[in-house]
Structure formats: C-alpha cells, structure tokens
C-alpha cells in the first residue's frame, strides 16, 4: 500500500561565490538545535516541521524544503530565509522561493 500523504515542497536558488561558506554557517548554526547531516557539497537539516536540504552546485545553492502541511512549509521557508538572509547580508544575496 502506498503512502498517500502529500508532501508540500519549495525550492530556492541562490547565486554566491561563498556558497560553501554560507551553507556551512547555516549548518553549524542549526546543528546546535536540530539534527544536521553535513558534507562539503550538501546538508540535510531535519526540523520538527519538515526537512531542508541544501546542495552546492558551483557558485549556486539549491535549497529544497519539504513539510507535511502547507502551514509548516511556510514556517520552514520563513525560518530558512530569515537565517540565510541574516548570515548572507554582507554578500548582498537573499533567498527567493520559486
């Protein structure tokens, strides 16, 4: 029997020459509060409201969030955006969800 629960997803792309630094900074910050699996090319952060995955593709970060409900997805997107924008303020880049 297949699981019919719908997963809500959102993706953002951020172009930065410091993509690795920004991903590492987010990973370290959240690792004090939640489960974070981190490598040089990707990180997976598991929140109570969903999962956020970040992948490095050259000077580009692909940020993917997934949550069981639309409200949890919006909250997760806001959490990631607010922290990323604060950490990347000197870089002049911001998260824009597509």
Q: Is the pLDDT of residue 2 over 70?
A: no
Spell out the alpha helix ranges (H) of the chain: 19-31, 70-87
For residues 61-74, give the mean pLDDT: 96
Instruction: Look at the block and give the residue holding tokens 């993706």.
Output: 11
pLDDT one-digit tens code per residue, 20-65 = 999 999 999 999 999 999 999 999 999 999 999 999 988 899 999 9
For residues 53-81, give the mean pLDDT: 95
* Range from 11-20, 34-43, 88-97 carrying the lowest mean pLDDT: 88-97
> In angstroms, rounded to a whole number, what is the distance separating the alpha carbons of residues 88 and 36?
20
For residue 5, the model assigns a pLDDT of: 63
pLDDT band for position 98 (50/70/90)?
confident
> In angstroms, rounded to a whole number, what is the distance separating the alpha carbons of residues 14 and 33?
24
DSSP assignment of 6-26: PPEEEEEEEE-TTHHHHHHHH
DSSP H or E stretch at residue 64 = strand 60-67
For residue 83, the model assigns a pLDDT of: 94
For residue 89, the model assigns a pLDDT of: 87
Residue 10 is encoded by which pair of tokens?
A: 């959102």
């Amino acid at each position: 029997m297949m699981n019919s629960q719908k997963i809500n997803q959102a993706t953002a792309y951020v172009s930065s020459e410091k993509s690795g630094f920004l991903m590492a900074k987010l990973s370290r910050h959240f690792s004090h509060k939640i489960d974070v699996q981190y490598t040089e090319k990707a990180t997976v952060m598991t929140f109570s409201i969903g999962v956020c995955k970040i992948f490095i593709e050259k000077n580009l970060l692909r940020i993917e969030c997934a949550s069981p409900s639309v409200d949890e997805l919006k909250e997760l997107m806001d959490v990631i955006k607010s922290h990323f924008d604060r950490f990347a303020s000197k870089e002049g880049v911001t998260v824009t969800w597509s």
